[in-house]
Chains A and B, each alone.
Chain A
Amino acid sequence: MIIFIVKIVFKNLWQQRARSTLTILGVGISIAAFVSLRGLTDNLEKSLQTTYKARGSDLVVMEKSTLDIFASSIDQKNALILKNIPHVREISPVLMYFYAVRFKEYFMLFGWEPGTYLFEDLKIKGDELHGDHDALIGSFAAKRLNKSVGDRINIRGEDFRICGVFQSLSMIEDGGIILPLSTLQKIKKTPGKVTALNLRLDIRDSVKVDKVQRQLISKQIQDKINAQFPDLEVKDVQSFISTPFTVVFSFTWAISAMVFLIVVMGIINTMTTAVLERTKEIGILLAIGWRKSSIVWMVLLESVIYGFLGGIVGILLGYGMMGVLLTFPAIEGFIEMRYDIIFIIKSIGLSLLVGSLAGIYPALKAISIQPIEVLRNE
């Protein structure tokens, strides 16, 4: 019988087409705000994860208690001591710097030491870094700046030769520029300082060490470094990426909660109006023998449909908005557009949940209708 009730619900929605459309749009726009906000932060986190996975680092050492990676500044010479810790095979210092190469067009500048393992997985067209004023430019950055191998580029008053164009698995790297570490330290006026030290352990490729042992050894190294260097903090790549995002996610959840509250209020408003308009019809259904539970199902179903359709519209709009936002010069090249099916399913699930919650009050309102009052008033 649920099919029959669904049919009635859709006819009700169709009868008030304008109101239904506006409600679905309202829900959709709110859900779109959630989708684009969460989508951007999720995708930024994933882009960073890809960056670090692409580099093949196991541990990252940065300044203690800095939430923002870009605020971290540590002595490069720490690498010499860290190198002596058992199982530490290689250390690659890295300096990161956001810089507007053109007006309001930000690029990520990476300072890498030539010859370190960081370059291993880059597909370079042209030459590697040799001179102090050589620059390797990511393929996406090259496209944005309309540069190719052999061209010149000016960064903070210094002239660089583009020795090669590279492709990376990471969108952030692909949209960035790699300079020799010492040159970027000079440009940034932070000699001897780096953002982080990337550690590669000798156990990463060992078939004799299983996952649990690997985690144990990694933990022992972390504890040792944390004890020996009170100013440093060492994290595995996963927690290094997710720590700053806990704050960002808390923030986006707070905004999302407000967004969902707006959605709930919107649906409650529409559904309560619809119930009041249908007082006579609901009264008659009760008079001809419908149980209150059937009325509750009918109202809840309508509310859930608003949530569901609004969710679909919101996801489409949200990804559309995200697509537009990602073309803005300020963030272009840092975040990749990804379609996460789990996130889409979760968003639809949330829309359904919100629709159900919003239907509770109108449903209670509907079953408070007394058929006898309806008949007497008529």
Chain B
Amino acid sequence: MNKSVIIEARNVVKIYADGQVRALDGISLQVFAGEILVLRGPSGCGKSTLMHLLGGLDTPTSGKILFNGLPILDVCRVKGFRVRNIGFVFQAFYLWQNLNVLENVMLPLAELSMSHKERRNRVEEIIDVVGISDKLKASVKNLSMGQRQRVALARALVARPAVVFADEPTGSLDSKNTENILQLFRRINKERQVTIAMVTHENFLSEYYDRQVEILDGKVRT
């Protein structure tokens, strides 16, 4: 069965402003709808840069990034596009320390037109999915690392995006929490048909992903 391509990088080059660092060197890559793709490589290989480009956060020096066949930077200018289509999970979680779990997860929904009740239902539903329903009103400062990553994942999923990018999602977690989070990613991927692209330097068991691409020195390793 042919899988549809949701995001595609075509011969992408990224050179940083000082011109000295060639972070990506002509990468071409396809992300298929509904898969879990792991972009694996050592530190400094350019995998995070690639993720930022694929997620429309940065512009390539040359080459193209397409989302469902359209230039991603163009579609990102459409109101609400990013919130509805792309979610992000970061290694450092990046939660607002002065907001509670409910408020942190609700943040992306501020961009969407919906009633407060609908918004609240969405948040409660996704918090239940990630397994922290009992922490709804808790301050994120009082959560464990594993719980914080679940809040970050809930925030990435709450607007029901088509793709979730996760940058070293287990980088701050111990082995037990790492396994739990990976299982959660797999479950969400299967139950909600969310495409997940994970960047990591770790070796994950193959049951947690569908495809793995090795990145080395800004290139896809063949």
Give the interface of A toward B (CB within 8 A). Answer: 1, 3-5, 7-8, 11-12, 14-15, 280-281, 284-285, 287-291, 294, 371-372, 375, 378
> Which of B61-69, B85-93, B204-212, B214-222 lies on the face that meets chain A?
B85-93
Chain A CB within 8 A of B111 CB:
yes
Given the contacts A288-B108, A289-B83, A375 and B155 also touching, CB distance less than 8 Å: no
Q: Considering the chains assembled together, what is the distance between the CA atoms of A12 and B103 in angstroms?
A: 13
Q: Which residues from A are CB-within-8-Å of B90? A: 284, 375, 378
Given the contacts A288-B155, A294-B111, A371 and B57 also touching, CB distance less than 8 Å: yes
Q: Considering the chains assembled together, what is the distance between the CA atoms of A12 and B97 in angstroms?
A: 10
Chain A CB within 8 A of B116 CB:
yes
User: Least Cβ distance of A375 to chain B in Å?
Assistant: 7
Whether A372 contacts B79 by the Cβ 8 Å rule is: no
Whether B57 contacts A372 by the Cβ 8 Å rule is: yes
Chain A CB within 8 A of B52 CB:
yes
Whether A372 contacts B58 by the Cβ 8 Å rule is: yes
Q: Considering the chains assembled together, what is the distance between the CA atoms of A280 and B94 in angstroms?
A: 8
User: Least Cβ distance of A210 to chain B in Å?
Assistant: 58
Whether B110 contacts A281 by the Cβ 8 Å rule is: no
Residues of B89-137 contacting chain A, CB below 8 A? 90, 92, 94, 96-99, 103, 106-111, 113, 116, 119
Whether A289 contacts B111 by the Cβ 8 Å rule is: yes
Whether B86 contacts A289 by the Cβ 8 Å rule is: yes
Chain A CB within 8 A of B38 CB:
no
Chain A CB within 8 A of B47 CB:
no
Chain A CB within 8 A of B159 CB:
yes
The residue among B111, B113, B167 with the most chain A CB atoms within 10 A of its own CB is B111
* Chain A, Cβ-Cβ closest to B167: A375
Chain A CB within 8 A of B82 CB:
yes
The residue among B48, B83, B94, B167 with the most chain A CB atoms within 10 A of its own CB is B94
Q: Considering the chains assembled together, what is the distance between the CA atoms of A319 and B156 in angstroms?
A: 51
Whether B57 contacts A287 by the Cβ 8 Å rule is: yes
Whether A284 contacts B94 by the Cβ 8 Å rule is: yes
Q: Which residues from B are CB-within-8-Å of A11? A: 98-99, 103
Contact with A along B68-79 (1 / 0, CB 8 A): 000000000001
User: Least Cβ distance of A185 to chain B in Å?
Assistant: 73
Q: Which residues from B are CB-within-8-Å of A291? A: 79, 111
10 A–B contact pairs at CB < 8 A? Answer: A12-B98, A280-B94, A281-B96, A284-B90, A284-B94, A289-B82, A289-B111, A294-B111, A375-B48, A375-B57
